[in-house]
């Protein structure tokens, strides 16, 4: 638990959960939700996995840029794409995440160090560690055929 909570987000789900609606009290979020066609739904709305992917991508990218700046690395033009998959695991469903990290101004070694360091400090990474599979994949000039340890 954090020593001091700096901010608390709030979202309200109404309707039928995955086929319902989600809002935030401040009105910044106001979305219809729908199961994707791959899961038997209409796809006529956002879904929790898309929302999780958006949050994780933004959070991890902030962490990546922060550790990069502290290390004196050039993080200009960086992007993070989050792929969030969902599938059955016994009686429940599990998530699997791939974070695709693009650092156009870093070599493979530096990019891997920054990616790993960001994974240690990102709140989403810390929250999911040991609970779901998260792969850090480098793309662009920093990509190598090596897999992370």
pLDDT of the chain, 149 residues: tens digit per residue: 789 999 999 999 999 999 999 999 999 999 999 999 999 999 999 999 999 999 999 999 999 999 999 999 999 999 999 999 999 999 999 999 999 999 999 999 999 999 999 999 999 999 999 999 999 999 998 886 554 54
- Regarding whether 38 and 24 lie in a shared domain, the answer is yes
**In total, how many domains does the chain have?**
2
Give residue 144's pLDDT. 67
Give residue 149's pLDDT. 45
Tokens at residue 38, please? 């791959």
- Regarding whether 136 and 96 lie in a shared domain, the answer is yes
- Domain extent, residue 89, equals 48-142
- Regarding whether 21 and 87 lie in a shared domain, the answer is no
- Regarding whether 69 and 135 lie in a shared domain, the answer is yes
Give residue 71's pLDDT. 97
CATH number, domain containing residue 18? 2.20.25.10
Tokens at residue 129, please? 């560690």
CB-based contact 134:125 (threshold 8 Å): yes
SS3 of residue 112 by DSSP: helix
Does residue 149 lie in a domain region?
A: no
**Distance from C-alpha of 95 to C-alpha of 128, rounded to nearest angstrom:** 10
Give residue 124's pLDDT. 98
Residue closest to 86 by CA, chosen among 24, 118, 41:
41
CA 101 to chain centre: 11
Residue closest to 34 by CA, chosen among 58, 9, 51, 12:
51
Give residue 63's pLDDT. 98
């Amino acid at each position: 638990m954090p020593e001091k909570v700096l901010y608390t987000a709030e979202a309200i789900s109404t309707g039928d959960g995955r086929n319902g609606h989600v809002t935030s009290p401040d009105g910044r979020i106001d979305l219809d939700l729908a199961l994707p066609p791959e899961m038997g739904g209409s796809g006529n709305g956002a879904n929790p996995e898309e929302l999780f992917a958006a949050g994780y991508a933004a959070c991890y990218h902030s962490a990546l840029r922060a550790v990069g700046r502290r290390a004196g690395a050039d993080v200009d033009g960086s992007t993070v794409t989050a792929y969030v998959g969902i599938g059955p695991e016994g009686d429940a469903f599990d998530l699997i995440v791939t974070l695709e990290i693009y650092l156009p101004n870093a070599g493979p070694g530096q990019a891997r160090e920054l990616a790993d360091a960001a994974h240690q400090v990102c709140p989403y990474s810390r929250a999911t560690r040991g609970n779901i599979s998260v792969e850090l994949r480098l793309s662009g000039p920093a990509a190598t055929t090596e897999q992370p340890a």
